Chain A
Amino acid sequence: MEAAISTKNVEISYDSRPVVSGVSFEIMPGSITMIIGPNGSGKTTLLKALAGLLPFSGEINLFGKRQPGAPARLGYVPQRFSFDRSIPITVQEFLSLSSPRCFTDQCIHQKLYQDVGVAKIFTKPVSDLSGGQLQRVLIARALLEEPQILLLDEPASGIDIEGQNAIHKVLRDITREKKTTVVMISHEFNIVNHLADQVLCLNRELVCQGRPAEALTPEVIKKLYGEHRTIYAHPHD
């Protein structure tokens, strides 16, 4: 089976300073891959390069086609979405900018909005939304055009537990039903263990890759986050 994403020796630099180097991996279609690593390890940079938003050296292929310019449908949820919240625009209008099929109240994406939890806030101005609600809107927007690859940068930050669970369920459903490939940055090992088919450990270079249970060894954790760090199991989860 052809990989949804394959990278070979990817190197990304800011002002000639390498931020990510020598990264090679493969991600299969319909899987959930999580990228973990400490702050400043290059996770967001790598995700942006996969989306074709940053220049890089090496090779990134989406379904066998070279990035930038690969024709795959991409959805992207940024870590922070900064825009002037005082500009009057409703959630419906905001979403319809990305999907013209959503200009009327009879929006074809109603089920998606129910699932992600934006149906109730559809007519609200974006300025009235909480951080968590805005995050849900961004996730809904990324899913509007049924992406083949969905890239999420800590999508659940600022969302309550119930909301996080709902979003994780949506992610599981779309990978199963629509074979969407999900790549997601997360800091929560709990979520990585529950949700991910594959984990990529990044600390400027790839420290580990594989199934979470096998890849996340105490040695890898120490390599990522330094000595005296380990994972504690939470039996109640």
Chain B
Amino acid sequence: MIENILEAFTQPFMQRALITGLFIGVLLAALGVFVLIKKMAFFGDGVAHASLAGIAIGLLAGIEPLYIAIIYAVAIALAMYWLEKRSRLSSDAVIGIFFTASLALGVLLLSFQQSYQPDLISFLFGNILSVTTTEAIMIVLISLAALISLVLLWRRLSLLVFDNVQAQLQGFKVQALSIFLYVVMAIAIVLGVKLIGVILVSALLIIPPATSKLWARSFRGLIRGSIILVLVIVFFGLLISYGLDLPSGAVIVLVGFLIFIFTLLFKSFLKTQN
């Protein structure tokens, strides 16, 4: 059994998948804590779906789709932020409008390509096992930069999401911090699209912190739990998908879901015992 596991990770494509998966996973899980507190889950979903238009533009223009998708997703995230502040529309309405329009644009643009369906499927559901060395280096470097900036701004961002008014009174540049959070989230989500696809990426943003919240008694515990969970989810998700020859993105999400359900049931069981 252990030999089989070790054998799986001797394959270069599995090593690349594991390393990129763990970096992206940790970034998404850390951002997920803010998503949980600010109730922004729909934002993650919206940006992920909207990024399909960026991917399509990249494919048609013959430029690396991931770069264009990052630029497009950041632009969409900023547009959502601006519209939320400037209009009387609720944030879910704004996200809904941008996400459906961008998704439609993405499908339309992809339809101009000959045999567009394989590309569409690959971006909708991701294919982490196909990550090249160049892509892996790029993803790891961007994730690392985002993680370092999150660590440096952690207290400010935490206060921002917990209590915007107090953050203003402390002289924090609230608008700049909010925009930073939106931009980092958009970048992380697009990187995650490569891992598990447009449709499933927000699962890594939501499931680890939501599961951790079931147990945590402190904010530190919530963050630690969220990061440990995402490492477990990505590692076992990849391993199972390799062993059973199943789509990696779907397996990663289902492993996360099963851990969430098991934690929920176990917590309820303990409650009834007490």
Query: A residues touching B (Cβ–Cβ < 8 Å)?
Result: 51-53, 74-76, 78, 81, 83-84, 86-90, 93-94, 96-98, 100, 125, 141, 145
What are the residues of chain A within 8 A of B221 when measuring CB–CB? 88
Q: Are B220 and A93 in contact (CB under 8 A)?
A: yes
A88-B213 contact given A83-B163, A100-B155, CB 8 Å threshold? yes
**Is the CB of B168 closer than 8 A to any CB of chain A?**
yes
State the main secondary structure of chain B at its contact with A: helix
Docked CA distance A226–B36 (Å): 47
- Contact check, A125 vs B163: say whether CB atoms are below 8 A apart: no
Residues of B contacting A93 in the complex (Cβ-Cβ under 8 angstroms): 218-220
CB neighbours of A74 from chain B (8 A):
169
Partner of B218 from A53, A83, A100, A125 at Cβ < 8 Å: A125
Say whether A141 contacts B166, CB under 8 Å. Answer: yes
Q: Report the minimal beta-carbon distance from A67 to chain B, rounded to whole angstroms.
A: 12
Q: Is B222 an interface position by the 8 A CB rule? A: yes
Q: Kindly list chain A residues whose C-beta atoms are within 8 Å of the C-beta of B97.
A: none
B159 to A, closest residue via Cβ? A97
Q: Give me the interface of B with A, judged by CB distance under 8 Å.
A: 36-37, 39, 155, 158-159, 162-163, 165-166, 168-170, 213, 216-222
Q: Which residues of A contact B162 (CB under 8 A)?
A: 83, 87, 89, 94, 97
Give min CB distance, B199 to chain A, whole Å. Answer: 27
Bound form: Cα–Cα A141–B159 in Å: 12
The CA of A81 and the CA of B170, in the complex, are separated in Å by: 17
Minimum CB–CB distance for A96 against chain B, Å: 8
Chain A contacts of B166 at CB under 8 A? 76, 97-98, 141
The answer to whether B216 touches A88, judged by C-beta atoms less than 8 angstroms apart, is: yes
- B169: which of A51, A84, A86 is its contact (CB, 8 Å)? A51
Nearest CB in chain A to that of B158: its residue = A97
Distance in angstroms between the alpha carbons of A190 and B253 in the assembled complex = 60
**Chain A residue nearest in CB terms to B215:** A88
CB distance from B257 to the nearest CB of A (A): 21
**22 A-B pairs whose Cβ atoms sit less than 8 Å apart in the complex:** A52-B168, A52-B169, A53-B168, A78-B165, A83-B163, A84-B39, A88-B213, A88-B218, A88-B222, A89-B162, A89-B218, A89-B219, A90-B217, A93-B219, A93-B220, A96-B155, A97-B158, A97-B159, A97-B162, A97-B163, A98-B166, A145-B170
- How far is B117's CA from A156's CA once the two chains are assembled, in angstroms? 64
Asked if B218 contacts A90 (CB within 8 A), the reply is yes
A194 CB to nearest chain B CB (Å): 28
5 new A-B contacts at CB < 8 Å, known A89-B222, A97-B155, A141-B166: A51-B169, A52-B169, A87-B219, A90-B217, A97-B163
User: In the complex the two chains form, is A86's CB within 8 Å of B213's CB?
Assistant: yes
5 shortest interchain CB distances as A-B pairs: A89-B219, A88-B216, A97-B159, A93-B219, A90-B218
For the complex, what is the distance from the CA of A74 to the CA of B222, rounded to whole Å? Answer: 31
Interface centre among A53, A75, A78, A88 (most CB of B within 10 A): A88
Complex Cα gap A145–B220 (Å): 23
- CB atoms of B36 and A88 under 8 A apart: no
Return chain B residues, CB-CB under 8 Å to A100: 155
A33 vs chain B, min Cβ distance (A): 19
